[in-house]
Amino acid sequence: MECRSGCGACCIAPSISGPIPGMPKGKAAGEACIHLLGDRRCGLFGKPERPPVCDRFQAAEDVCGNSREQALWLLAELESATR
């Protein structure tokens, strides 16, 4: 599956415990990453400073669903289940 344009759910729903440029303590679940652009694209995509956890994320139907809303819900559910 290719990443859904204008979604950004993976930059909002999950927590990131490691440092992100400009966010040295990572980010909380449900908090938008500071690198999420206005059109919901990652401002670090393809750059060497992009965190490995973000680089490894792969869009897939089981985590992205059929819509942005479903992706936000699915990723939040996974976050809660793995907390």
**pLDDT digits 0-9 by tens, 35-59:** 999 999 999 999 999 999 999 999 9
Work out whether the CA dihedral 36, 48, 80, 62 comes out positive or negative: positive
Whether 83 shows a pLDDT value over 90: the answer reads no
CA distance 19 to 17: 7
With beta carbons less than 8 A apart as the criterion, state whether 68 and 75 touch. no
Question: What's the CA dihedral at 19, 48, 73, 18 to 10 degrees?
Answer: -20
Q: SS3 of 77, please?
A: helix
Average pLDDT score over residue span 2-9: 93
**Global pTM exceeds 0.85:** yes
